[in-house]
Structure 1
Amino acid sequence: MVVIKQNVIYDSEHDLRTDIYFPNDTSSKTKILVFWHGGGFIRGTKDDCKNLGIKFANAGFMTLIPDYRLAPRNIFPAAHQDARNFIDWLLNSSYTDSDDQKNVVQIGASAGGTLALQLAGFYGFPTVTWSAPVDFYNWMKKHKKVLPSPDARTELGISDPDEIAASFYKYFTVTYIGSNNYEALQELDADSYDYHNLNQLMLINSSHELVELSGVFNFIHFLANSGHEIQLLTLPGSGHAMAYANDYIDESLDFLYQAIKRNK
């Protein structure tokens, strides 16, 4: 039986909260998993992820699912700052021991995966991402003619699935950045983060993703050239993040279990 503690405030200034899912066998050696929800930095909430929180807790992880500020009300780097603030709060809270940083792992879905990458590089948390967007600057330069829309089928009369996906990708990117500022886009790119402390990293992406996989391949090449270990799992089809999440929970958790063992 999982015990859930809801709406624990981690940032009173912005009224940001987290839900915590406690497994039955909670102890000083309990593994800690932070799950970052997706939604393109514009939507999504911890409340959408209750079933995942329960599954992770049943697998033995004390699981925390935080909210973070969303665009357009809060533009870049608000969500990224919230993610850092959350980890600082967690590591200094009564929910962790002084040496628990080595017991923290992450899973991030979609935009939540982008946030998780930033934290993985800074704190060294073993991390799995589900369809994390990593390429914004180059993609935007190559797709200047794409019209941004949250629902291109209805708003723009577009029927091609790839064009609909590209339109949404551009929409949430511009919305989070707040403009077409290319300098800010470069800062949002995953290859601009500090990866000096990066440990085990697994990227899961569908073969026909929200956008083409070339950006993911370039990101892996960037990390590999810096001497980092990365695993890439490509899935058949066009499912994005939560569309395949339930089918790959076991693979994700097994990767994180093994990473914790290696890091001891």
Structure 2
Amino acid sequence: MTVQSKLDVVYDDKNELALDYYWDPSITNKGVLIDIHGGGWFRGDKSKDSDWATRLVGEGYFVVVPNYRITPQGYYPDPLTDMDNVVAWVRDHADQLSYDANKIGAVGSSVGGNMSVELAIKYGMPAVSLSGILDIDSWLSNHSDVVAKQDARQNFNGASSEINQNGANDSFYKWFVMNYFNGNNDPQLWQKATPYHRVDAKTGPIFMANSLNEFVPTTGVTTMLEALNKVQVPSESHFISGTKHAKGYLDQVFDQSVIFLNKFVANDGIQAKAVDNEAN
């Protein structure tokens, strides 16, 4: 495998946002994946996901890894707007970069998992979510007594698999979710940002994984499954014992996630729907 990359390609001049893309010219391309890094909407960088992107290139995909606005540069819904711009960039560059923009999917870890699911809902594309932040309004309402507190882990820009692996941490979960809203306590805003309320029959297939004793609650996956089942959208869920978060358990679900991507992105059965941004 010969992975090539082009780094720091600007896709949003106004907000000075760039992306990296990875490919192997010797492999017949199965499609294009948007790989969204985690970091609690307040830390992290696209370089964190060069490892996951490289592995996906080895499976035959062209992979785009974008930066997006994080706090305090941007708050909800700014990162989601950035993902709209990434989708537009991917579609616009299909001919130039020799991939099929009708075969597009998203993968993401932690808050990146939230945004990959949002792309599935808005554009109908298949998505992989590892420890996605999916339960927001219900969780916040049920944990009003939790004191929000930032965790003390360092190396925040290091590999995602090396941070936040110590299990349940409700105070940190509440802190970074509320930070995403810039401290706004409006339950209607929380509901608007909670993905499972907006699932419909046009939502793309979703693969979700979560550890059973990590800081991201499993209720996000179980409630999302219920919503997807009601509208008969295909989904897969994997619950992993222990405390590992997101890419910390990537090795344990990588093969299953690739089977999912090969089925719903690479094959012709279900492809990304060219849904206009305004449609949902």
With the length of structure 2 as denominator, give the TM-score of the two structures: 0.84
Work out whether residues 94 and 100 of structure 2, in 8 Å CA contact, stay in contact via their aligned partners in 1. Answer: no
- Find the counterpart in structure 1 of residue 8 from structure 2: 7
The more displaced of 16-25 and 191-200 is 191-200
Work out whether residues 122 and 195 of structure 1, in 8 Å CA contact, stay in contact via their aligned partners in 2. Answer: no
Amino acid at match of 2:139: W
Flag the structure with more relative contact order, 1 or 2, with Cα contacts below 8 A and sequence separation at least 6.
2
Does residue 172 of structure 1 match 2:150?
no
Work out whether residues 132 and 216 of structure 2, in 8 Å CA contact, stay in contact via their aligned partners in 1. Answer: no
Give 1:245 deviation, angstroms.
Answer: 1.4
The more displaced of 229-238 and 169-178 is 229-238
- Find the counterpart in structure 2 of residue 156 from structure 1: none
1:21-170 residue pairs with structure 2 within 5 A?
A: 21-25=22-26, 29-94=29-94, 100-151=100-151, 162=168, 165-170=169-174
User: Which residue among 243, 253, 257 is the counterpart of 2:258?
Assistant: 253
Work out whether residues 167 and 244 of structure 2, in 8 Å CA contact, stay in contact via their aligned partners in 1. Answer: no
Give 1:197 deviation, angstroms.
Answer: 2.3
Deviations 1:94-149 (A, max 9, x none): 55689933311221111001111111122221111101011111111111111111
The separation in 2 between residues aligned to 1:17 and 1:209, in whole angstroms, is 31
Give 1:26 deviation, angstroms.
Answer: 5.3
Work out whether residues 118 and 193 of structure 1, in 8 Å CA contact, stay in contact via their aligned partners in 2. Answer: no
Task: State the secondary structure of the residue aligned to 1:174.
Answer: helix
Deviations 1:5-61 (A, max 9, x none): 00011111101110000113256x542111111111111110112222221112211
Work out whether residues 72 and 176 of structure 1, in 8 Å CA contact, stay in contact via their aligned partners in 2. Answer: no
Give 1:246 deviation, angstroms.
Answer: 3.1
Count, aligned residues: 256
Deviations 1:207-240 (A, max 9, x none): 2232432332122112211222211111111211
Identity of aligned pairs, percent? Answer: 27
The more displaced of 12-21 and 143-152 is 143-152
Give 1:82 deviation, angstroms.
Answer: 0.6
Does residue 243 of structure 1 match 2:248?
yes
Amino acid at match of 1:21: Y
The separation in 2 between residues aligned to 1:233 and 1:107, in whole angstroms, is 15
RMSD: 2.3
Q: 1:21 to 1:81 in 2, by over 3 A?
A: same
The separation in 1 between residues aligned to 2:11 and 2:248, in whole angstroms, is 29
Work out whether residues 91 and 101 of structure 1, in 8 Å CA contact, stay in contact via their aligned partners in 2. Answer: yes
The separation in 1 between residues aligned to 2:149 and 2:83, in whole angstroms, is 26
The separation in 2 between residues aligned to 1:115 and 1:198, in whole angstroms, is 13
Q: 1:138 to 1:131 in 2, by over 3 A?
A: same
Q: 1:99 to 1:51 in 2, by over 3 A?
A: closer
Work out whether residues 134 and 195 of structure 2, in 8 Å CA contact, stay in contact via their aligned partners in 1. Answer: yes
Work out whether residues 209 and 221 of structure 2, in 8 Å CA contact, stay in contact via their aligned partners in 1. Answer: no
Amino acid at match of 2:209: I
Work out whether residues 102 and 125 of structure 1, in 8 Å CA contact, stay in contact via their aligned partners in 2. Answer: no
